[in-house]
Amino acid sequence: MQYISQQNDWLVHPFDQPASIEETDNRLILNNGLIQRTFIISPNFATVDYTNQITGSSLLRGIKPEAVLTMNGHQFEVGGLKGQPDYAYLDSDWITDLTSAENAVSISIRQIGITSTAQTNAVWAIAKRISVCPASSKF
């Protein structure tokens, strides 16, 4: 087992690392200094790397949907990719060969940036007034 010295332990000493979000080519990278999560944007939004920044070890072995929604008894995968030949480990060379599932809900990125509290509150206020999925809808 690998031990981390107390000098680098964020639970023992204050950790002052700003979170960051970076978009490069076909990837979106979220990093808070402790964990880095990398998403591929196309052919469908999916987590392709999840790395412990303290130890450098990858925590991801397989690419799956980001979520599974069930509506009226039908399941819909949200994001994710299909075709990984082995789920015991993830080889980054496989990622270019993976495809989006036919019935998967696609996630698209419109804007990346910092949202103010006023903007967030306005979006939630509008969302409360809009019925996204009326009870009469059939799937």
Cα dist from 104 to 40, 79, 87, 107, 134, whole Å: 15, 6, 20, 9, 21
What pLDDT, on the 0 to 100 scale, is given for residue 6?
57
Q: pLDDT confidence of 73, banded at 50, 70, 90?
A: very high
Residue 137 pLDDT:
45
The whole-number pLDDT of residue 37 equals 96
At 136 the pLDDT is 47
**Cα-flanking dihedrals φ and ψ of residue 75, to 5°?**
-95, 140
Does pLDDT of 110 surpass 90? no
Q: Is the pLDDT of residue 3 over 50?
A: yes
Going by C-alpha positions, the residue among 77, 76, 75 that lies closest to residue 65 is 77
User: How far is Cα 133 from Cα 33, in angstroms, rounded to an integer?
Assistant: 38
Question: Residue 86: what pLDDT?
Answer: 95
**Between 7 and 32, whose confidence is greater?**
32
- On average, the pLDDT of the chain sits at 81
Structure confidence at residue 54 as a pLDDT band (50, 70, 90): confident
Q: Are 95 and 48 in contact (CB under 8 A)?
A: yes
| 134: three-class secondary structure by DSSP | coil
Q: Indicate if the pLDDT at residue 93 is higher than 90.
A: yes
**What are the pLDDT digits (tens) for 8-40?**
676 777 777 888 999 998 999 999 989 999 999
Rounded to whole angstroms, the Cα distance separating 92 from 58 reads: 12
Q: Tell me what pLDDT residue 18 has.
A: 84
E runs forming strands in 41-99: 46-52, 67-71, 74-78
